[in-house]
Amino acid sequence: MMTEIKETLIKIKEVADQILETHKNSTIRFDGVNYADLRVVDVSYNLHLDDEETYSVLIEECSPTAYNFCEFMVGRIELKVGFPVNVVLEW
């Protein structure tokens, strides 16, 4: 099971990195994002007390209130991996 989780984390990181790189090279811009240093710094697996399993991506160099960017990333990641992934933003 741990190998499967690790493979999923690696896939999510690769997908998120690819989406960020493509987005940084596009003309679309969102408020509250430092495009010069924007990066994925962590991907995590979360097992909740109710046995729900989720994944999260931590992206740095954007405001935690950059809601439009967050929604953009959540939607794009889900399209690529086939399941929802939480996106957390930090400066």
CATH number for the domain including 29? Answer: 3.30.70
Average pLDDT for residues 59-74, to the nearest whole number? 97
* Residue 9 lies in domain: 2-90
As a whole number, mean pLDDT of residues 56-81 equals: 98
Q: Give the pLDDT band (50/70/90) at residue 70.
A: very high
List Cα–Cα distances, 45 to 6, 21, 25, in angstroms: 9, 23, 29
Rg of the chain over Cα atoms, rounded to whole angstroms, equals 13
Give residue 1's pLDDT.
67
Number of domain units in the chain? 1
How crowded is residue 11: how many other Cβ atoms within 10 Å of its Cβ?
14
- Token duo for residue 58: 């931590």
- The structure's pTM equals 0.93
Reported as a single tens digit per residue, the pLDDT across 12-61 is 999 999 999 999 999 999 999 999 999 999 999 999 999 999 999 999 99
**Strands laid side by side in the 53-60 sheet:** 39-47, 53-60, 86-90
